A and B are shown apart, each in its own frame.
Chain A
Amino acid sequence: MRNPQLNQHGELQHLLTLDGLPRAIITQILDTAAPFTEVAEREVKKLPLLRGKSVFNLFFENSTRTRTTFEIAAKRLSADVINLNVATSSTKKGETLLDTVDNLCAMQADMFVVRHESSGAPYLIAQHLQNTGRDHIHVVNAGDGRHAHPTQGLLDMYTIRHYKQEFHNLTVAIVGDVLHSRVARSQIAALTTLGVPEVRVIAPKTLLPTDVDKMGVQVFHSMEEGLKGVDVVMMLRLQNERMNGALLPSPQEFFKVWGLTAEKLALAKPDAIVMHPGPMNRGVEIDSAVADGGQAVILPQVTFGIAVRMAVMSMLGGSH
């Protein structure tokens, strides 16, 4: 079966997950993103690629940063952007997901940027568009349930490549709440596809998925062990809102054992970079001294995120 993200010419048709996305496409997205970073320095911070196109931000789950960076990216490509906070509208009145999509298609949508609390919702939309012969409409997954957050994974790869140039000689540690994290899944898929030889996951057993040993990563249950000699530390947010039960002691206890402090970071390579997808819980998964320190690249991640999303949208908008 054809990869549902690619069209018959092997071009990106939808961006749904990094799992199974060919290395050549991931590299092409990163290469395409590079020249977009320069647009911010122009007097007119716009490129005409998506002029006359309508991008619908379809957020069934709240998000400020991701929605905003997608909006900036689409606007820098000259698209018209329509933001729908579906969490507070039609679905509350009982409309189904696909009815919402059909209605927006009737308003001449060209692209959907979808965030949904259910894993697989963007697939469902992409499949529906394909089944109804609307191949010219593209879907970008902006985070679905615990499944995937591909543009976050891509901007993380862009950030790593920016600071470390290559992937084949790196040791990367992903730290924290892997169980609830779609970000971690996308990061692991991208890192392994791009040939990072050692991907580590550092987390308490209660915050690891049961199938973690099938993900091609090394599991550590101690920060002291896992951080030793790494080039990149990718922190995850402790997802309080996704926890319903006693997976954890108090946030203070969590910080004591799993929080990234300057002392623990000293175990990594001296030039290791520290990343975080945001929003940060200071004093829970990361100490302020580290978050604001010289090794943190957390704000550049946000800036690169715009260029990476421009790359994805311009590749989708030009595929047939």
Chain B
Amino acid sequence: MSSTTRILTVDDSASMRALLNHALSTNGFEVAQADDGVSALEWLAVNEVDVVITDINMPRLDGFGLIEQVRGGTRHRDRPILVLTTESSDEKKARARAAGATGWIVKPFDTEKLVAAVRRVSH
């Protein structure tokens, strides 16, 4: 285990990934990026991670599906997964929770809060 917290950000929007990357890496996190659930799973198959931050609405495999797959696997099943999305309905939260999400952050995010959220779940 390295001392740096490694984060995988999953979002189909390149600008959102760039923003996250900027916000997190300037705060000392190691950031990897995936553009949807399928690429995230591919990356996770060969890499270690401390926290996953994922969008919900994505092509191919959405955030719910990604979380289920991670929780259903063995390698990363206990990793915290934060959902980062513009959706905020209770129904969506319940669904994310049921799928196995650890926490919920609403876009647009505040860098300070995002960083605090990541620190809070990375144990």
Q: Do these two chains interact? A: no
Using CB atoms and an 8 Å cutoff, list the residues of chain B in contact with chain A: none
Using CB atoms and an 8 Å cutoff, list the residues of chain A in contact with chain B: none
